[in-house]
Amino acid sequence: MIIPTITKIEMLSPGEYRINWEYPVTTEDIGIYKYKLYRSSGGGDDEGELLKEFNHLRYFTDINNIKKVWVNTYYRIETLNVKTNETDRGKWTTMMVAPDLEAMEIVRRNNILLSNPRRGIGVPIAVFKLKTIGPHCPDCWDFNKQKIRSSNCDSCYKTGIQGGYYEPELTWANLTPPAKMIQIPQWGEMEANEIRIFMSNKPVVNPKDLIYISSRNCFYSVEQIETTTKRDYLLHQLVSASGIERKSVVYNLLKEYPDLNRKLLEMSNHIKTGV
């Protein structure tokens, strides 16, 4: 059985919680499992309220306006093997540490700094999180060699996992942070096609995720991330990413999300320059 374990419940903003989980490393096919995420205000024998059915997600953002959620809200994941009908109910897990209110205030101010209509210093970007778990690509995965057969497959975008990336998440980033902020010794000299950007605390980016900047019509691949935290609470992220050449198959992601450029443009039209 591939039973996920809830690893962390984070407060992103008041009323918004992100439940993270991990799957055990296994050669078993995850495609035969169905998972259900439940929430309860009591835990114990309570059945709970169904929030989400999924196959290979790694986190879920729950909007829940209960005060003090970290002491009285529980989450669990139920596992069903559709071939054998075997189930696992999952353990109730709760947020153990109260969120740091000062840290949340810093994040709130960062978000205003980036997206404020008058003085915002950010531009809208789309973050495509890489799928690290899921069924192998039906079109190009070579089961004998355990690798992809094609570098221009638009079923998996060279990732080997069906779909390749999760639906893009839209956020704001500053593309020209002050030099002293982005000169990180272990990152070395900046390459010609590299960008270094400042982002708030979500979405959390990882190496190999993609960042799409609509005003440049360009995809970037995340290389490194430097995070600032306060008592384990993520405040912001400095990201280095390298430009991906136009002939790469990842540009076909734009065909899957035909509204993406319009949505990003609407976000940037909300910024009034020169006012």
The residues binding Zn ion (CB under 5 A) are 137, 139-140, 153, 155-156
> What b/e sequence results for 48-81 when a residue is b if at least 16 CB atoms lie within 10 Å of its CB, and e otherwise?
beebeeeebbbbbbbeeeeeebeeebbbbbbbbe
Taking the complex as a whole, the smallest distance from the CB of residue 194 to Zn ion amounts, in Å, to: 27
Q: What are the E-state strand segments in the chain?
A: 5-13, 16-22, 33-40, 49-54, 59-63, 74-81, 87-88, 93-94, 123-128, 141-142, 147-148, 169-174, 194-199, 210-213, 218-230, 233-243
- Closest listed residue to residue 182, CA positions, set 201, 197, 202, 200: 197
C-alpha span between 252 and 230 (Å, rounded) = 39
